[in-house]
Copies of this chain bind each other. A is one copy, B any other.
C-alpha cells in the first residue's frame, strides 16, 4: 500500500490540440507513458465528452498492477490534469513513476506545470505476493 501519488496540472499545453480532444490519442499517450516506464498495464478505459463535431475533452484511467494513472483534458483551457499512484509493494516504483510523469510532460508540452506529491500508506508491507506488482 505504501507508495507515491503524483498529482499534476499541465497548463498552456503546446501539444497538438487533437491530443486534448481525441479520446484515442489521449489513451495512446497514457498507456505508452506507463508501458515505456516499465509499469504493468492491466486495463484501461477512456471516455470523450462533447460530440464528434464538437469534442469537449476526454478523461480516462489506466489501471496498473502497481496502481493507476488517471488523466483528464480541458481543451478549452489547453490544460490537463494527471495523477499517477504507484505502490512500492514488491519493488520501489518511484523511478518508474517519474519516468511516466516525464513522458506525459513531454507529450503535452505544458508551459507551466503544477505538481504535488503525496506519500501514501503508513504500514510497512509484508513480503510480496506473486500477482500484484504494486
Q: Which residues of A contact B (CB under 8 A)?
A: 1, 5, 7, 9, 11, 42-47, 49-50, 56-57, 59-61, 63-65, 67-68, 70, 72, 74, 76-77, 79, 81, 83, 85, 87, 114, 116, 118, 120-123, 125-126, 129-132, 134
Contact = CB atoms under 8 A, between A and B. Distances in A.
A82 to B, nearest CB: 10
A87 B61 contact: no
Contacts of A65: 49
Total identical chains = 2
Contacts of A47: 42-43, 63
B70 A61 contact: yes
Given A43-B47, A67-B72, A68-B70, 18 more contacts: A1-B72, A9-B123, A42-B47, A43-B60, A45-B63, A50-B129, A56-B132, A59-B64, A60-B63, A61-B70, A72-B87, A76-B129, A77-B125, A81-B85, A81-B120, A81-B121, A83-B83, A114-B122
- A85, A87, A132 interface centre (most CB from chain B within 10 Å): A132
A77 B44 CA distance: 26
Identify the 3 closest CB pairs spanning chains A and B, nearest first.
A61-B61, A45-B45, A49-B131
